[in-house]
Structure 1
Amino acid sequence: MEEHDYDSNSNPPLMSTYKHLFVEQHRLDMDMGAIDVDECELPVIDLAGLMEAEQVCRADMVRAASEWGFFQVTNHGVPQALLRELHDAQVAVFRRPFQEKVTERLLGFSPGKTTGPSTSIRARAVIEEVSRAMYELAQKLAEILMRGLPGAGEGETMVTTREETCFLRLNRYPPCAMAMGGFGLCPHTDSDLLTIVHQQQDTVGGLQLLKGGRWVAVKPSPSTLIVNVGDLLQAWSNDVYKSVEHRVMANATLERFSMAFFLCPSYHTLIIPSSSHVHDDDAHYRSFTFGEYRKQIMEDVRSTGRKIGLHRFRTR
């Protein structure tokens, strides 16, 4: 795919110094022995199987969420042409001069809100269409995983999600020519129920996940969507599903673009191990609301400089 011409004026001021901010964290990773990176093949779930071999497809998804916390889906129903159009709009926005992006508030979208008037009408429509499609898909996948828990049945209470608390994020990772490599995104877990990621570029990797104490690289594939379990689904499943630590490493010479959709419940939704096989004495977490979880994360980041996450709510 042809990209727009690169323009350094689209970068923030002092961009040349930003790339050095995470050197110490990278050295810490080296000391911990988690620097060996192999390319992995994530489990691939063909969602066409929901029509042809439903039980097998659902079981494969449950197994992938339990063993990997990450998987890819094909035949997901989101048109490739729409995803390509989103990528083009995303590149165009990031190519705008930095001062324009600051003053005109071009970036930022979630359902129920609107982008700035300087974003083209078509770009806004594409973002809304992709966001809506991702919301519907994420809901479907989350429901399959919740109903796939041991002891869960058709009458099992599901987590209620709200479109206005979900969000779609468009990312750009500038190239970083540091000899050690640089973080585009530091190691973290997602603070939601479920995340869906798409990358249109098939030649620029960067996403890595921690598997068995080693970082493994995920090969990008424009025809698939990457799905990963978030913290809330791990707590809801009582650790059956895994919210896995992952990161993005910057490419030495090429910039990387990606889209991520985060499925979130309402702020008042109670997160508690709720499958019928979990008794109160067996619960690994105390109950908490999504709003409480977000607040605790922000307090921890302010006071310690890092997210502590589910460990704050673990009981065993």
Structure 2
Amino acid sequence: MPPATRIPIVDLAGVRAGDPDALARVAREIHDACTTIGFFYIVNHGVPQAAIDAAADAARTFFAFPVETKRRAAVNKRHRGFNALGDATMYQAKRPDYKEFFSIGLELPEDDPDVLAGQALRGPNNWPDFMPSLQPVLYGYYEALAACGADLLRAVAVSLGIDEHFFASRYTKRMQRTQMVYYPPQPPQSSLADADQFGVAPHTDYGCITLLWQDQVGGLQVREIANGTWVDAPPVPGSFVVNVGDLLARWTNDRFRSTLHRVINASGRERYSIATFYDPTYGATVDPHDLGTPAAESRYEPVAAGDYILGRINDSMGYRKKLAGEGSTA
């Protein structure tokens, strides 16, 4: 039996099988979830369990290395690589997040036209020389999540009353980012100041949709929009947690809700997760008018997806602030 949760569970099996009735049903379920809590689980998503298990094992192996070793793959200007404790501070949080993470993106060679043109966040990944086994495992997972994200966006499109293939042309060279995340056990909260420490402080995600694998430790919480209370998003075996990001909320003119969420690892155990931010091509135009919003009712001006995501990364990552101070525009 899955754990009790107020967050809906959506079965993608029929969507993947090409069943039009299942696509319509799933679209309704997604619409209900995205216009209320902004979160849902997906099961029967098509990502092989072996790929998930291998990526999770790789994360545990990677984060067990000494921090001095992990810094040999320190995050670079393309937002690829290792981020240590203290490298990320969400919005108005009083303390940096209590986590480490390692980021990858779409693997592009140095002679790719967008890389040569200096497009931000593009290029080859920053794989660790001390763990050569990580690249095939994590990039295999990355590609499997891309296929899952494409299936999911077909249902999202139908849920918005537009052609199911609308998003495909906006994802030809996706800005997908995948992060392995490690949360050390948080110290007990013995004072008011300690209550300001989070594994990840309350925030909304930057991009279009997020697909999250989480281990069995728990700690993810979602803020219900209707009453402002925090509800648990417990681990559901065989699932990914999916949430609307700010870019999709903007695209839908806020019909879909990008919801605050946080992580508090009060378990006394190490927690691992793998977050995939499934986002469009850098130059894809995000315009509410394209999803049926009349121009007179649009709350947002058109924006390039990559420019928006880059701006949000710059606001939250400590190393980006340092680059900005040095005059970098990467």
Name the TM tier (shorter chain): 0.7 to 0.9
From 104, 124, 136, give the equivalent of 1:109.
104
Partners of 2:33 and 2:73 in 1: CA distance: 42
Q: 1:156 offset after TM fit, Å?
A: 5.1
**Contact 1:198–1:225, Cα closer than 8 Å, also in 2:** yes
- Which whole-Å CA distance do the structure 1 matches of 2:308 and 2:291 have between them? 24
1:207 aligns with 2:176: no
Shift of 1:117: 2.5
What residue number does 2:33 align with?
64
Match of 1:169 in 2: 179
Q: Does 1:45 align with 2:10?
A: yes
2:246 match: 231
Letter in 2 for 1:280: A
**C-alpha distance in 2 between matches for 1:67 and 1:242:** 7
The answer to whether the 8 Å contact 2:251/2:291 transfers is no
Q: 1:177 touches 1:252 (CA, 8 Å); kept in 2?
A: no
Cross-structure match for 1:133: 144
Q: Which residue of 1 aligns with 2:130?
A: 118
Gaps of 5+ in 2: 75-80, 83-102, 108-123, 322-330
- Among 62, 87, 97, the residue aligned to 1:93: 62
For each residue in 1:77-128, what CA deviation from the matched residue of structure 2 results, as whole angstroms up to 9, or x when unmatched? 111122111111110100011111112557432221341232233x321111
Separation in 1 of the partners of 2:223 and 2:71?
Answer: 35
Summarize the alignment of residues 254-265 of structure 1 with structure 2, pairs less than 5 Å apart. Answer: 254-265=269-280
Q: What is the rounded CA distance, in whole Å, between the counterparts of 2:313 and 2:277 in structure 1?
A: 18
SS at match of 1:109: strand
Aligned to 1:192: 207
Match in the other structure for 2:155: 144
Where 2:42 maps in the other structure, the secondary structure is strand
Distance 2:185 2:257 in 1: 31
Cα deviation 1:123-142 (Å, max 9, x = unaligned): 32111111001011112212
Partners of 1:169 and 1:299 in 2: CA distance = 17
Hey, what's the Cα distance between the residues in 2 that align with 1:104 and 1:170? 14
Quick one: which amino acid aligns to residue 59 of structure 1? R
TM, length-normalised to structure 2: 0.72
**Long gaps (5+) in structure 1:** 1-38, 307-316
Once residues 291 and 132 of structure 2 are traced to their aligned partners in structure 1, the CA distance between those partners, rounded to angstroms, is 49
Q: Return the alpha-carbon distance in structure 2 between the equivalents of residues 72 and 155 of structure 1.
A: 22
Matched position secondary structure for 2:170: coil
Show CA shifts across 1:256-303 (max 9, x none). Answer: 10000011122222111134642110112111112332354366569x
Task: Find the aligned partners of 2:177 and 2:165 in 1 and give their Cα distance.
Answer: 28
Contact 1:147-1:156 within 8 A present in 2 as well = no
Q: Residue deviations 1:216-255, cap 9 Å, x none?
A: 1111123111111111111111111111111111224111
2:157–2:164 contact (8 Å) kept in structure 1 = no
Partners of 2:198 and 2:263 within 8 A in 1: yes
- 1:40 is paired with a residue whose SS is coil
Are positions 1:281 and 2:296 aligned together?
yes
Structure-1-length-normalised TM-score: 0.75
Counterpart for residue 253 of structure 1 = 268
Q: Structure 1's 57 and 126: CA in aligned 2 closer, same or farther, altered over 3 A?
A: same
Matched residue, 2:307: 292
Aligned residue identity for 1:268: G
Describe the shift of the 1:257–1:282 C-alpha distance in structure 2 as closer, same or farther (beyond 3 A): same
Matched residues in 2 for 1:166 and 1:276: separation? 21
Amino acid at match of 1:161: Y
Moved more, 169-178 or 285-294: 285-294
Letter in 1 for 2:9: V
Distance 1:226 1:156 in 2: 23
Q: In 2, Cα distance between the equivalents of 1:294 and 1:78?
A: 26
Secondary structure, in 3 states, of the residue corresponding to 2:282?
A: coil
Which residue matches 1:75?
44
Within 2, Cα distance between the matches of 1:280 and 1:145? Answer: 22
User: Percent of aligned pairs with the same residue?
Assistant: 28
- Residue type of the partner of 2:175? T
> Is the contact between residue 175 and residue 251 of structure 1 (CA under 8 Å) also seen in structure 2?
yes
1:209 alignment partner AA: V
Counterpart-to-counterpart distance in 2, 1:149 and 1:141: 13
